[in-house]
Amino acid sequence: MTELPLIGEAIAVAAEPRLAGAKIGVVTFPGTLDDRDASRAVRLAGGTPVELWHGDSELGDVDAVILPGGFSYGDYLRAGAIARFAPLMSKIIDAANSDAKLPVLGICNGFQLLTESHLLPGSMIKNDHLKFICRDQVLRVENNSTYWTGDYAAGQEITVPLKNQDGQYIADEKTLDALEAEGRVVFRYVGFNPNGSRRDIAGISNAAGNVVGLMPHPEHAVEVGFGPESLDGIGGSDTEGLGLFTSVLNKIVGAN
Amino acid sequence: MTEISTSSITETKKFNIDTVEHAAKTPDTELPWAELGLKQNEFDEIVKVLGRRPTGAELAMYSVMWSEHCSYKSSKNHLRQFGEKVTDEMKKDMLVGIGENAGVTNLGDGWAVTFKIESHNSPSFVEPYQGAATGIGGIVRDIISMGARPVAVMDPLRFGAIDHPDTARVMHGAVAGIGGYGNSLGLPNIGGEMVFDSVYQGNPLVNALAVGVMRHEDIRLANASGKGNKVVLFGARTGGDGIGGASVLASESFDDTKPSKRPAVQVGDPFAEKVLIECCLELFKGSLVEGIQDLGAAGISCATSELASNGDGGMNVELTSVLLRDPTLTPGEILMSESQERMMAVVTPENVEAFEAVMDKWAVEYAWLGEVTDSGRLIITWEGEVIVDVDPRTVAHDGPVYDRPFARPEWQDALQADSFTGSVQDAGRPSAPAELAAAVTELVASPNMCDKSWITNQYDRYVGGNTALAFPDDAGVVRVDEESGLGVALATDANGRYTYLDPYHGAQLALAEAYRNVATSGAVPMAVSDCLNFGSPEDPDVMWQLAEAIRGLSDACMVLGIPVTGGNVSLYNQTGTTPIHPSPVVAVLGKLDDVARRTPSGWREDGAAIYLLGTTAAELDGSEWSNLRGHLGGLPPKVDLEAERALGEILINASRDGMVDSAHDLSEGGLAAALVEASLRYGVGARIALQDVLDRDGVDLFTALFSETQGRAVVSVPRSEEVRFKDMCTARGFEHLRIGVVDAASGQLEINGVDTLSLDALREAHEATLPKYFG
């Protein structure tokens, strides 16, 4: 009988030692939930996670930043609307817009933060069915030339968990057309649109491709035994979200 | 956040304060003790304890702390059995037992786990969203109070009839509340139960379980030790919400001008709780608190009296220091308020500064209320005037205890004599292949057996990244240690119908099922927490059900060798004179050395052999099938705890040695439900032949499929492991029969003698029910 891989082993093979030098900051805001998960994903991808606190005034020595999921400040106002004004956010915005093009990934609440801080266009409103939804979601990688998607094949379909309350991506038609034309729709929902997002958009990038935001949670599909295949048996594998993290690490290491 | 200056609150507050001095001088003042829920004998006892009449504030404290909810006065005499029927062997892994906020069990490798289940029934009927949400909030704070990081929650739910117009209100509210609060805390919801029965129409049961983990050295207890240590209240401000019984307070004699009719249901703020969790964990990490207690039922009354009586026995508190949301609150209201997201801690003077730094980092408000003394008295002042001067033990621990009369109901014999078999409702029992196929489909589409993803899709099962199994698997499994894979499994179960038919054995059946579910996942059962939901203890029939259930449960724990480490009792769940079915919800916690070895409930590998473990008797009384036919009578399935233990050992060994690739326990809905669920879990079909079972057990096909005989499970065994697996069962003398084979390509569940069931059709029927009723 095939031995079930012990947790971590399958991943350890994938991780390349040369990536360990790349440091990825993971920001914790009050109400952030998936920060430890994002750090784990960085680690399993072979990089070095660095904990960042929203109140810090300096970004420090990090090569990229992840804004993780959660409910910052309870999302009692618009999701991400308060966290966007954290001292560290202004540093992140500057660094992302600078010539150095700091890679920034916003997941779920992090995506909402990126739209609130105008690093990405559009906004998120409540799911069209008005309920929180947690499900395994198939996504198509529409653009594999961003900093965070280089390790995927263009058009590749991946399965990652999705869980949100305010996940309906909206923007005006002109913006949506521009996003499509410029290839800035990075991820699209396949088979089922879980929240009513315009044009099935699950994730987008800025023009330079260093800033990417998406509603689904790739950091929950990085480890055998704890991903959508093990929990729900929906096919594919447990680790199809890992590519976002290896992509940016490879980009960083290559750039160095 | 609204800025309110606390100093101005104190200045503008004008109460006619009932001081201890005043109370001593005015022994004949009329007090609203009856309105506060106290009985004459209880009030007399308070006067005797104090040697004078209580002040208004003291009366408020005693009334909430001596309430059924806080004092367990009707159940205490029976609950003792959980502490008494315990062997040394059962105690060996128990680090903290019953009585603290939650029990703590040793997991090995320096890890400890704490878990507890509680009820939040009445608030969830009055205001389902907030009631259910604050149920999660309260149980999570119990877990934090022990020094643990909460890692998962579960929710056993019981609602009225699925088609009753009010059920949708409660269902929508409770599920959204559990999701809204739990999801915002970052705690995966890994399982629970859902039952619809008209007996819960006016008394839905919303129970909440939380589990947390910690290193041994981080265990914290609720006590206030060390004279001169500071007492601090932190978290949310104290408001007028959750003060027990608004009308009661309207008649309180402090002041005539204060706002009346305060909400008795607390309002939750999950963001405040999430921040409180992280803030507390940082306090624990820095060893900055000596003792800690969450504020739940009875608020500051409970926290001060319990902390003081568990420690050096004395505490001085200045009540005007409490930060308020509503400046018009009276001292009694402040003492009784159940505002959520608050904690009380004891801090040494040296740690005050470091404590404040943590509060400031997380922007959590706090107020230093007073200090620990060795006086043996809990003294609470209001602007320096003494309004409470009591021995804290008399408030927290020496409440009244009642030996309520109980007797076996006179209707019990008739009920037990009314068996389903041969009853009017049993007419036309399915036997032809088409009838049986229709019956299987009807069963899996029925309200209690249908797919629950309408509920569970509103809960985050992924957050934390440690969930290894979640609903609909038999148990939820969470990894504790990322290095070793060490983890815990949890299951909750209860069957109100079984317990109604026979409370002693019904409670045992709940334990047996939860135990079996945990073992099915491959985990070794270790500890029990129970939430005893019953009607009024003043009804001797109900009291008998409670007494029998506790006796049954404690006896069964002895046999299975797992101790009860905590729980709660919820009484008065009845509408008029009609109580709910006695519903002891039992949670069992188990341990997995490596969660990679957990066993899922559905089969996947083509060609794997399917085995039925255990034998089947004709046990349809109290079953889901009889429920579907509108019958409730007879005797529940037999309990055989030794068989449960033997089955558990087989399932645990099979998991550890990789002999099975799926296992699913047989419980409500019997083999029919188990086969459908195991097929639908991953959409993989099977071919089943039950002739050997019918021959061996002397039952017909219908009985084999729908009987709810206990101590059974179905497992799928890869071909390479079949010999080893059979040898193990034989060596252990446990009945096992090969009943079929996994057929991955078929897309069907084929049972000899039953018309072939397509998985698509089964899935459609299984999944349609909840959306049909709830949208």
Rounded Cα distance between B213 and B219, Å, is 10
Residue B224's pLDDT is: 75
Compute the half-sphere exposure of residue A237: CA atoms within 13 Å on the CB side of its CA: 11
Alpha carbon B397 to its chain centroid, in Å, reads 23
Give Cα B186 distance to the centre of its chain.
19
pLDDT of B39 over the 70 cut: yes
Whether B186 contacts chain A with CB within 8 A: yes
Domain layout of chain A by residue ranges: 23-255
Q: What is the DSSP letter of A70?
A: B
> Which of the residues A231, A238, A239 would you substitute to probe the B interface, choosing the one with the greatest number of B C-beta atoms within 10 Å?
A231
Beta carbons of A159 and A217 less than 8 angstroms apart: no
Predicted pLDDT of residue A1: 37
- Give a three-class secondary structure readout of B375-398: CCCEEEEECCEEEEEECHHHHHCC
Taking only the tens place, the pLDDT of each residue in B536-546 is 999 999 999 99
Q: Is the CB of residue B726 less than 8 Å away from at least one CB of chain A?
A: no
**Which CATH architecture does the domain made up of A23-255 adopt?**
3-Layer(aba) Sandwich (3.40)
For residues B260 and B281, give the distance between their C-alpha atoms in angstroms, rounded to a whole number: 38
What whole-number distance in Å separates Cα of residue B130 and Cα of residue B112? 31
Is B339 annotated to bind a ligand? Reply is yes
What is the distance between the alpha carbons of residues B541 and B584, in angstroms, rounded to a whole number?
Answer: 16
Judged by a CB distance cut-off of 8 A, whether residue B275 touches chain A is: yes
Instruction: Tell me, yes or no, if A135 comes closer than 8 A to chain B by beta carbon.
Output: yes
Q: What are phi and psi of A85, to 5 degrees?
A: -95, 10
Of B493, B707, B483, B723, give the one whose Cα is nearest residue B614. Answer: B707
Measured N-to-C along each axis, helices B759-774 and B670-682 cross at an angle, to the nearest 10 degrees, of 100
Q: What backbone torsions phi and psi does residue B237 show, to the nearest 5 degrees?
A: -75, 160
In this complex, is the C-beta atom of A31 within 8 Å of any C-beta atom belonging to chain B? yes
Mean pLDDT of chain B: 92
B322-350 tens-digit pLDDT: 999 989 888 888 998 888 999 999 999 99
Cβ pairs A/B, distance under 8 A: 115
Q: Which of B184, B362, B602 sits opposite A71 (nearest CB)?
A: B184
- pLDDT score for B35: 83
B583-592 and B524-533 beta bridge pairing: antiparallel
Name the nearest CA neighbour of B518 among B652, B666, B637.
B652
Q: What tens digit of pLDDT does each residue of B431-449 get?
A: 999 999 999 999 999 999 9
pLDDT at residue B622, as a whole number: 97
Q: Which residue is closest to A163 within chain B, CA to CA?
A: B460
Known binding residue B184? Answer is: no
The model's pTM? 0.94
DSSP letter (8 states) at residue B550: H
Cis peptide before B472 (omega within 30 of 0): yes
Task: Provide DSSP, B205-269.
Answer: EEEEEEEEEEEGGG---S---STT-EEEEEESPB-STT-S-HHHHHT-SS-SSS-----SS----
| Pairing mode, strands A104-107 and A211-214 | parallel
C-beta of residue B420 within 8 angstroms of C-beta of residue B626: yes
pLDDT > 70: percent of chain B: 95
| B458 closest CB neighbour out of A33, A75, A131 | A131
Cβ–Cβ < 8 Å for B209, B155: yes
Reported ipTM: the value is: 0.93
Q: Which of B463, B656, B664 to mutate to test the interface with A (most CBs of A within 10 A)?
A: B463
Residue B8 has pLDDT above 90, yes or no: no
B722-745 residue pLDDT tens: 999 999 999 999 999 999 999 999
Q: Is the pLDDT of residue B11 over 50?
A: no
User: What angle (nearest 5°) sits at the alpha carbon of residue A119, between those of residues A116 and A124?
Assistant: 40
A163 touching chain B per CB within 8 A: yes
> Is B172 annotated in the active site?
no
Is B570 annotated in a binding site? The answer is yes
CA-based nearest residue to B404, from B35, B100, B39, B50:
B39
A169's tokens = 């991506």
- Burial-class residue A58 by CB neighbours within 10 Å (0-12, 13-18, 19+): exposed
Nearest CA in chain B to A233: B682
* Per-residue pLDDT tens over the stretch B101-118: 788 999 999 999 999 999
**Contact call for B658 and A225, based on CB within 8 A:** no
The answer to whether A163 contacts B460, with C-beta atoms less than 8 Å apart, is yes
Quote the Cα angle for B202-B206-B208, to 5°: 165
CA separation for the pair B748, B761 (Å, rounded) = 9
**CB spacing of B363 vs A30 below 8 angstroms:** yes
Q: Is position B484 annotated in a ligand binding site?
A: no
Q: In terms of DSSP H, where are the helices of B521-593?
A: 540-560
Nearest neighbour of A220 by CB, restricted to B362, B465, B681 = B465
- Catalytic site residues of A? 108, 217, 219
A192 touches chain B (CB under 8 A): no
Task: Report the Cα–Cα distance between both ends of chain A, in Å, rounded.
Answer: 44
